[in-house]
Amino acid sequence: MRSIHICWLSLIIVCSSSLSFAHPPRDVQLTYDGEAQVLKIRVNHVTPNTLKHYIRRVVIKLNDKEVNALNFPAQSSRQAHEIEVPLELKAGDTVTVSAVCNVAGSKEVSLQIK
Domain presence at residue 48: yes
Domain presence at residue 8: no
Domain presence at residue 45: yes
Domain presence at residue 15: no
3-state secondary structure of 39: strand
Kindly give the confidence (pLDDT) of every residue in the chain, 114 residues in length, as a single tens digit, with 9 standing for 90 and above: 666 655 454 545 544 444 446 789 999 999 999 999 999 999 999 999 999 999 999 999 999 999 999 999 999 999 999 999 999 999 999 999 999 999 999 999 999 999
Domain presence at residue 30: yes
CATH number at residue 74: 2.60.40.730
Domain presence at residue 3: no
**Domain total for the chain?**
1
Domain presence at residue 104: yes
Which residue, among 32, 54, 49, 50, has the nearest Cα to 41 in the 3D structure? Answer: 32
pTM listed for this prediction? 0.81
Q: 96: domain range?
A: 23-112
Domain presence at residue 36: yes
Sign of CA dihedral 23, 24, 26, 32: positive
d(CA 52, CA 48): 9
